[in-house]
Amino acid sequence: MTLDSPILRSATRLLLPLTLMFSVFLLVRGHNEPGGGFVGGLVAAAAFALVLLVQGRDAARDLLRVDPLSLVAAGLFTALCSGLPPLLAGGAFMTGAWLKTPLPVVGKLGTPVLFDVGVYLVVLGIVMAILFALAEEER
Amino acid sequence: MLTSILLLFAASSLAPLAHRALGKRAGVCLAAVPALLFAHFVGQLGSVTAGRASAESWDWVAGLGIRLAFHLDGLSLLFALLVTGIGALVLVYGAGYLEGDPRLPRFSAAMLFFMAAMLGLVLADDAIALFVFWELTSVSSYLLIGFDHEQEKARKSALQALFVTGAGGLAMLAGLLLLGEAAGTLQLSALGAEAARIQGHSLHLPALLLILLGAFTKSAQFPFHFWLPGAMAAPSPVSAYLHSATMVKAGIYLLARLNPALGGTDAWHYLVILAGATTLVTGAVLAYGQTDLKRLLAFTTVSALGTLTLLVGISTEHSARAAMAFLLVHALYKAALFLGVGAIDHEAGTRDVRELGGLARAMPLTAFAVCASALSMAGLPPLFGYVAKEFFHEAKQEVPRAAAWVSTASFFGSALVAAAAGLVAWRPFFGRRRSQLSAHEAPPALWLGPVLLALLGVALGLFPGSLAVPLIQPAASAMRGEPTVVELAPWLGLSPALVQSLLMLAAGAVLYAVHDRALAALAPLRGLAKLGPDRGYQALMAGLVALARAQTRALQNGVLGVYLLVTIGSAVALAGYALFSRVALAAPAGGGVRLGEAAVALAMVVGAIAVIRARTTLIGVAALGVVGYGVAVIFLLFGGPDLALTQFAIETLSVLLFVLVLRRLPPMRQLSPPSEHLRDGFVAVAGGLFVTALVLAATATPHATPLRDWFAANSLAAANGRNVVNVILVDFRAFDTLGEITVLAVAALGVAALLRLRPEDRKESL
């Protein structure tokens, strides 16, 4: 099942990069403004879902490139690892550790940001895994 | 000591790689790890014999007073030597036994893992650490017993062993916690000093009962002995290791370890001696009735465990040295026997005594190892088994009550075991050679272990003073909690014990001679075996399955409406009861309703009504979307932009999910009668009212600690973020979030797996 129409097709071409950029924007600014890894992941999933609806599951799968469940695993791993650096410094697991100087564009970097990246990946992976599984029928 | 345990765990995880990289030499290379540890522990003998126990300790769960503590005294050292020494031999043997088998890496890995857990168990000085290693041995023995996992019998036996020992382990945990409560410490080596305090405490008896339950299940004491013969489904090297020096001895270790703290009371005497004596006789009788060599050895193991329990239960100076001597000799001869029988099975293709015979010429080395070990088991001089038997005869004179009964029972038990030893030693190797004409000596890997163990048994018997005393004396001292002198000479002279030994051997010889006739005469009684405790276990398991099936059918019958009814209904009933019985409800304080809020609320009500009245599912989904977006708008109006953003994204994606699901569903139809509509409506309204009441109660209750203010004040200062919601999620409460995304990931795996299980796919695969 695809909703293939020239209008949707061209709209997707424009919307996809915009939505993905927006999702990353939400992720990065989440620590200070509304946003964060969870909603960022959902928005990114919505972008891929649009491709899935318009061009079909295989196109969306090719675009995502990796297996969604690997994304979930990578996200969990990232989130888990983000708690480890403080252990080396003698702190408790998951104590936030921050770089002293803020970077341009991104702002201050620290382990909680890395944790949020993990959440982003997990959410994106989960939604895509379920969507792909549901859309499996058209083969 | 932690290093040695970690070394074994590391070897376990590297075992598959080692097998890939080193090929045939991998077994020997891996065995070098426990062999090195054995050498290390031998090096510790001097200081331990001199009475210096070494200890190391780390904070583990500081809040609960749990430490990762280890302690090496005589008892631990004796066990550590058996675990690593026999472990190394069994690894070499296993590499030969399973040569060319693709499952060999799995065997080595599981074996080393079990070894690490067992070593941890005997070195642990903290009750909780001991419990953790105890359960690790249960789990890894499950993998080992179920090694032939393609056979149903192996799987069932493994599960049975896991259930019985696992349940016992849980009881033991409760017992250890009670014991810690009574003693005021969880440190095992400090319990002995608190003996008076523990035995006078009101928790003493419950703690004792629960700990004994753990020890008796692990060490296969009657009536829990049934899992041990079942565990014979494992390959021979596994049986040799689990049932000689390790797994089943863990219970004995626990009893010996806690003897200074718990031993010597009336309850201890009654329970432990009764269990030990019963098991001794039961195991011996059942062993005598077997013709499969491996099962026969299994039941003699049960009998030996009974003997050890009995000796620990007597808890006098004589019994302590007898227990430690018997523990040592049993580990040596039983490991050799299991390995030897494995070699016979490997070469001759059968383990049935009725089919074996005359193999001595073909397999001289195996024959020597098995015969020497079996004679040690029977208690014949000059083997070390004889010394242990003498000690046993002395010790049982000191049974505090019913000495005559215990003495007679153990006499017959020992005679039966001696007869069984005769069967193992004589039948396969001597007499007429039967069908296995092609059998020849096993490869070196298969005879090395048994021969070494048998030689050790002979050497200990010949020079007990110089070889056995350094092992047994510190172990007996540790078990008694006070210095104990052990004197050993190969000949104890003409004593009542010697007379008993001779009588017992004579009785054993008679029993051996009439074995075939006795078995034939007792054949009608075989049906009785079905009435054993195994039957109780089966009934319990069947009942558990039936209960699970009934409650699944009632609560999770596949009809989604019922799920919702049960979930919402129980939430309303239980939480509602708690709410109304404790919190007084009050109308919300002040504040009118703004026009915008009223409009959104109205739109949501209209949406909800539209959901109910929808005639097609698509309209229903769209109307539900209206309600969801309404919630998002309310979040926005009340200053929750993060929540609103997430709610919008979720709503959009769920509509998409619905569309993908709906394509597969048939058109909506009305199937349920009006009465069910009424019931569902009632539950739905109750759910709505309950949530309203909950919100009112939550806002009306003044919060004792203004968490909100704390988060607002600390968000930027301590966590570098102005978005408090996000800072809570990824920093203050990041551990919760980690748990949540883990749950989400598992749920996604489940969904993906379930959706792939479609009926049409199942048909294709059939």
pLDDT over 70 at B704, yes or no: no
Cβ contacts of B650 on chain A, cutoff 8 Å: 42
Instruction: Report pLDDT for B652.
Output: 87
CA dihedral B46→B255→B335→B81, nearest 10 degrees, is: -20
pLDDT band at B136 (very low <50, low <70, confident <90, very high): very high
Structural element, H or E, at residue B167: helix B152-183
Query: What pLDDT score was predicted for residue B760?
Result: 59
- Residue type at position B302: V
Stretch B634-662: mean pLDDT, rounded? Answer: 86
pLDDT of B351 over the 80 cut: yes
Nearest CA distance, A65 vs chain B (angstrom): 18
What whole-number distance in Å separates Cα of residue A118 and Cα of residue A123? Answer: 9
Asked whether the beta carbons of residue A79 and residue B652 sit closer than 8 angstroms, the reply is no
Beta strand B66-72 with B54-61: parallel, antiparallel or unpaired? antiparallel
Cross-chain residue pair A36–B752, CB shorter than 8 Å: no
What is residue B308's predicted lDDT score, i.e. its pLDDT? 94
> Which residues in chain B touch residue A129, judged by CB atoms under 8 angstroms apart?
748, 751-752
Query: Strand, helix or coil at B56?
Result: strand
- pLDDT band at residue B225 using 50, 70 and 90 as cut-offs: confident
CB–CB of B745 and A26 under 8 A?
no
The residue among B543 and B353 whose pLDDT is bigger is: B543
Q: pLDDT tens for residues B497-529?
A: 778 788 888 888 888 888 888 888 877 776 666
Say yes or no for a CB contact (<8 Å) between A115 and B723. no
Pick the more confident residue, B649 or A86. B649
- Identify the DSSP state of B511: H
B645/A39 CB distance under 8 A? yes
- In chain A, residues with a C-beta closer than 8 Å to the C-beta of B729 are 36, 38, 119
Q: What distance in Å separates the CA atoms of residue B547 and residue B567, rounded to the nearest whole number?
A: 20
pLDDT band at B117 (very low <50, low <70, confident <90, very high): very high
| Cα four-point dihedral sign B2, B5, B9, B15 | positive
**B720 closest CB neighbour out of A34, A110, A137:** A110
- The dihedrals phi and psi of B67, each to the nearest 5 degrees, come to -120, 150
How much helix, strand and coil, in percent to the nearest 5, is found in chain B?
Answer: 75, 5, 20
B409's CB contacts (< 8 A; 6+ apart) are B277, B280, B281
Asked if residue A1 is part of any domain, the answer here is: no
Q: Position of tokens 């011996």?
A: B284
For residue A68, is it within any domain?
yes
| Six-digit token string for B171 | 């009881």
pLDDT given for residue A137 in this prediction: 58
Set of chain A residues whose Cβ sits within 8 Å of the Cβ of B720: 31, 96, 98, 108, 110, 112
Is residue B81 within 8 Å of residue B48, measured between CB atoms?
no
CA pair distance B677, B218, nearest whole angstrom: 55
| Top-confidence residue, B713 or B206 | B206
In a domain, A30, yes or no: yes
CA angle at B660 for the pair B659 and B664, rounded to the nearest 5°: 105
Q: Do B738 and A80 touch (CB under 8 A)?
A: yes
pLDDT class of B10 with cuts at 50, 70, 90: very high
pLDDT of residue A3: 66
- Which chain B residues touch A96 with a CB distance below 8 Å? 718-720, 731
Model confidence at B691: pLDDT above 70: yes
Report the DSSP beta bridge partners of residue B70.
Answer: B56, B124
The shortest CB-CB distance from B741 to any of A1, A79, A98 is to A79
Residue of chain B whose alpha carbon sits nearest to that of A38:
B646
Q: How far is A51 from chain B (nearest CA, A)?
A: 12
Model confidence pLDDT, tens digit, residues B95-108? 989 888 888 999 99
Looking at every residue in chain B, the average pLDDT score rounds to 86
Count of structural domains within chain A:
1
Please name the residues in contact with B659: beta carbons below 8 A apart, sequence gap of 6 or more.
B618, B621
Range of the domain at A33: 6-137
Q: Is the pLDDT of residue B390 over 90?
A: no
Is the Cβ of B586 closer than 8 Å to some Cβ of chain A?
Answer: no
Q: Max alpha carbon distance in chain B (Å)?
A: 108
B720, B725, B754, B760, best to mutate vs chain A, most A CBs in 10 Å: B720
Which tokens belong to B556?
Answer: 């999770």
Residue B694, C-beta contacts closer than 8 angstroms, at least 6 positions apart:
B575, B579
CA distance linking residue B498 with residue B462, whole number of Å: 17
Chain B residues 645-684 within an 8 A CB cutoff of chain A: 645-646, 649-650, 652-653, 656-657, 660-661, 663-664
Q: What's the mean pLDDT in B222-238?
A: 86
pLDDT tens across B259-268, in order? 999 888 888 9
Report the 10 Å Cβ neighbour count for B75.
26
As a whole number of angstroms, the distance between CA A15 and CA B5 comes to 57
Q: Is residue A34 assigned to a domain?
A: yes
* Nearest residue, CB atoms, B730 vs list A45, A116, A131: A116
Provide the pLDDT confidence category of residue B765 given band limits of 50, 70 and 90. Answer: very low
Residue with tokens 């879902």: A49
- Cβ–Cβ of B656/A39 closer than 8 Å? no
Higher pLDDT pick, B492 / B570 = B570
Assigned domain for A84 exists? yes
pLDDT, residue B108, reads 93
B531-540 in b/e burial notation, b at 16+ Cβ within 10 A? eeebeebeee
Range list of β-strands (E), B525-581: none
Average pLDDT score over residue span B596-617: 90
Would the CB atoms of B645 and A108 count as touching at under 8 Å? no
What pLDDT is recorded for position B766? 41
Taking one residue from A and the other from B, the number of pairs with CB-CB distance under 8 angstroms is: 136
* pLDDT digit string (tens) for chain A, length 139 residues: 566 788 888 888 899 999 999 999 999 888 888 888 899 999 999 999 988 888 888 888 888 889 998 999 999 999 988 888 877 777 777 777 777 777 766 667 788 888 999 999 999 999 999 888 888 754 4
User: Does B755 contact A33 at a Cβ distance shorter than 8 Å?
Assistant: no
Task: Look at residue B424 in the predicted model and tell me its pLDDT.
Answer: 87
Residue B740: what pLDDT?
92
Assess contact for A121 and A75: CB atoms under 8 A.
yes
What's the CA gap between B581 and A30, in Å, rounded?
A: 41
- A132 lies in some domain: yes
**Alpha carbon of B219 to those of B249, B522, B653: distances in Å?**
6, 28, 57
- Cis peptide bond prior to B667, omega within 30° of 0: no
CA-nearest residue to A76 within chain B is B742
Residue B130 tokens, joined: 């001991």
| Distance between CA atoms of residues B240 and B340, nearest Å | 9
pLDDT tens readout for residues B176-213: 999 999 988 889 988 888 888 888 889 999 999 999 99
